[in-house]
Amino acid sequence: MNKRKISDLSRALIEIVRHFGPKGPNGECCENLSMPEFLALDKIANTEDCPVQNIGQLLGFTKSGATRIVNRLEKKGYVQKIKSFEDGRVCCVVITPQGENVLASTDERYSKEIEHLLARMPDKNAPHMKALLKDMARALRD
């Protein structure tokens, strides 16, 4: 791909991130969550027996950074810290019903936005969008 096409793609991705990323006055992306808080909450919701250290590893945060995020989520009522069933010295984090509601409302909001966007795209492009975005996300993770 030539330099101009790469630059155009970069600008398009920046526009997408701007639209779906943090928008609130304090950098919120969803409800009253910052993007790191949202990502951590999503990982907590999808990881059984989730120690704080694992959250940091999964998201590329330090243990102290993950602890600060978890503490903010706990203060907002979205997660709860409990002792590990396997090792009482380890503190695990679980999502609360309030946290599940925030994730569900965020999913609903963004799903509606994506449906609206796909409806405005040429019919031939929309079916491929999911696979392309998932491939890009996977490449970023790897």
The whole-number pLDDT of residue 26 equals 65
Tokens representing 49?
């027996």
Q: Residues of the chain whose pLDDT is less than 70? A: 22-28, 84-85, 87-89
Domain boundaries, position 133: 3-141
HEC assignment per residue over the chain: CCHHHHHHHHHHHHHHHHHHCCCCCCCEEECCEEHHHHHHHHHHHCCCCEEHHHHHHHHCCCHHHHHHHHHHHHHCCCEEEEECCCCCCCEEEEECHHHHHHHHHHHHHHHHHHHHHHHHCCCCCHHHHHHHHHHHHHHHHC
Q: What's residue 25's pLDDT?
A: 60
State how far the Cα of 15 lies from the Cα of 7, in Å rounded to an integer: 12
Express each pLDDT in 113-129 by its tens digit.
Answer: 888 888 888 888 877 88
- Tell me the CATH number at 48: 1.10.10.10
pLDDT at 101: 95
- Is pTM beyond 0.85? Reply is no
Q: What pLDDT is stored for residue 28 in this prediction?
A: 67
pLDDT at 71: 95
- Please state the domain count of the chain: 1
Q: Please report the pLDDT score of residue 47 as a whole number.
A: 87
